[in-house]
């Protein structure tokens, strides 16, 4: 595709020491066009029915979870420290029992210069990791999680939904609200770790590919942040990507937890779910409704969990 061909040519020129501007000028001279979108245009091949397809400018959430297709790449990521891996005994998301694409699996972002990821917090305030493959840089803006309430107020003033809307904060507004912001460049081969609940937004400074995934550190702070967002999502009518009740039961069943505060918090959550089940059962019996256990069509595959715990 045009994107891959452009990336390949740019990488080869970069190895020889060419700047991005020099590369674009060479391509414009070669193709005889001054339009940026015509740079690195290759001859179209294949059936004519594909010629009318719209060229994408920002490929997001490309699934890389297939272990057969991406075995080599996934094996390389397993060399990272335990808290950075998609599967680890100290990663809460490893105990889900099923895939959540882009969270406990790897996803790819294919960016052209100027591509933006609007401001947001990760699903259920989980931690996140982002690796820049290159060849270009990415610019990051990050704000501590404690300021998310102010961001919510700013979005409401501008009639934007904080959870589901698309918003890009202005630095002037942040200064007026006395909100600190960490701004930095992510160069090729740089790995960015986002703390639980941190607000962030990103823009590409060049052509680059990024891979990203989520983790849930086995700590009290992470669990509380995830559960608070789970409850807030329910109040706002937004479906949570991470089923926290299901995850809590799996953590109680399979995980070896050394954080006493985390154990207390999980116990509190499970007691609450049992109380709600008891109240529901008593209400149904009072109304004369017959309760029938339907079971599950398929049992959860816990082979992955067993493998993780053995490691």
159: left (phi over 0), alpha (psi -120 to 50) or beta: left
Closest CA to 220 of 254, 267, 271, 275: 267
Report the pLDDT value the prediction gives residue 14, as an integer from 0 to 100.
Answer: 59
The pLDDT mean for the chain works out to 84
Is the model more confident about 158 or about 49?
158
Task: Flag whether pLDDT at 250 surpasses 80.
Answer: yes
Element (H, E) at 131: strand 127-135
Taking the CB of residue 210, how many other CB atoms lie within 10 A of it? 22
Tell me whether residue 209 is exposed, middle or buried, using C-beta atoms within 10 angstroms of its C-beta: 0 to 12, 13 to 18, 19 or more. Answer: buried
Q: Is 205 helix (H, G, I), strand (E, B) or coil?
A: coil
pLDDT score, position 62: 87
SS3 content of the chain, % helix, strand, coil (to 5): 40, 20, 40
> What backbone torsions phi and psi does residue 60 show, to the nearest 5 degrees?
-115, 155
Query: Which residue shows structure tokens 């290159």?
Result: 134
What are 85-109's pLDDT values in tens digits?
Answer: 999 999 999 999 899 999 999 999 9
Residue 140 φ/ψ, nearest 5 degrees:
-110, 145
pLDDT over 90 at 279, yes or no: yes
Reported as a single tens digit per residue, the pLDDT across 157-192 is 999 999 999 999 999 999 999 999 999 999 999 999
In the chain, the percentage of residues whose pLDDT exceeds 70 is 76
**243 phi/psi in degrees, rounded to 5:** -75, 95
- Number of CB atoms found within 10 A of residue 166's CB: 11
Mean pLDDT, rounded, for 18-46: 54
| Per-residue pLDDT at 34 exceeds 60 | no
Inform me whether the pLDDT recorded for 304 exceeds 60.
no
Tokens of 39: 């740079």
Going by C-alpha positions, the residue among 254, 248, 246 that lies closest to residue 296 is 246
Mean pLDDT of the region 65-76: 90
Which pLDDT value is given to residue 16?
Answer: 60
Provide the pLDDT for residue 293.
Answer: 78
- The pLDDT of residue 309: 43
Strands 191-194 and 127-135: antiparallel
Higher-pLDDT residue of 123 and 292 is: 123
Q: For 46-63, what is the mean pLDDT?
A: 65
Per the model's pLDDT, the better-predicted residue between 7 and 83 turns out to be 83
Task: State the virtual CA torsion across 11, 16, 22, 24 in degrees, nearest 10.
Answer: -20
Phi and psi dihedrals of 72, rounded to 5?
A: -65, -45
Comparing 53-62, 86-95, 140-149, which segment has the lowest mean pLDDT? 53-62
- Greatest CA separation for the chain: 81
Structure tokens at 232: 């807030």
Question: Cα 92–96–99 angle (5° rounding)?
Answer: 115
C-alpha to C-alpha distance for 305 and 184, rounded to whole angstroms: 37
- What is residue 41's predicted lDDT score, i.e. its pLDDT? 39
pLDDT value at residue 51: 55
CA distance 98 to 216: 15
More confident residue, 268 or 301: 268
| For residues 268-283, average pLDDT | 93
The answer on pLDDT for 11 being more than 90 is no
């Amino acid at each position: 595709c045009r994107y891959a061909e452009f990336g390949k040519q740019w990488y080869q020129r970069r190895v020889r020491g060419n700047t991005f501007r020099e590369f674009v000028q060479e391509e414009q001279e070669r193709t005889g066009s001054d339009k940026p979108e015509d740079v690195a245009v290759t001859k179209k091949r294949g059936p004519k029915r594909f010629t009318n397809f719209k060229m994408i400018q920002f490929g997001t959430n490309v699934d890389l979870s297939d272990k057969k297709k991406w075995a080599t790449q996934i094996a390389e990521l397993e060399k990272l420290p335990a808290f950075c891996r998609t599967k680890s005994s100290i990663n809460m998301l490893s105990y889900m029992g099923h895939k959540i694409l882009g969270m406990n699996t790897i996803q790819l972002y294919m960016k052209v210069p100027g591509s933006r990821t609007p401001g947001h917090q990760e699903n259920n305030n989980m931690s996140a990791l982002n690796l820049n493959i290159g060849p270009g840089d990415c610019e990051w803006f990050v704000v501590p999680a404690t300021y998310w309430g102010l961001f919510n107020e700013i979005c409401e003033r501008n009639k934007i939904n904080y959870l589901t809307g698309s918003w890009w904060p202005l630095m002037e507004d942040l200064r007026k609200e006395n909100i600190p912001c960490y701004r930095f460049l992510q160069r090729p081969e740089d790995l960015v770790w986002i703390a639980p609940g941190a607000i962030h937004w990103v823009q590409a400074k060049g052509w680059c590919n990024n891979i990203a995934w989520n983790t849930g550190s086995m700590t009290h702070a992470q669990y509380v942040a995830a559960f608070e967002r789970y409850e807030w999502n329910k109040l706002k009518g937004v479906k949570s990507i991470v089923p926290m009740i299901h995850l809590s039961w799996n953590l109680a069943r399979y995980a070896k937890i050394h954080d006493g505060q985390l154990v207390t918090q999980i116990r509190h959550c499970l007691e609450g779910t049992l109380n709600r089940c008891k109240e529901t059962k008593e209400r149904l019996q009072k109304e004369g409704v017959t309760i029938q256990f339907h079971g599950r069509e398929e049992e959860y595959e816990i082979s992955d969990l067993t493998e993780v715990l053995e490691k």
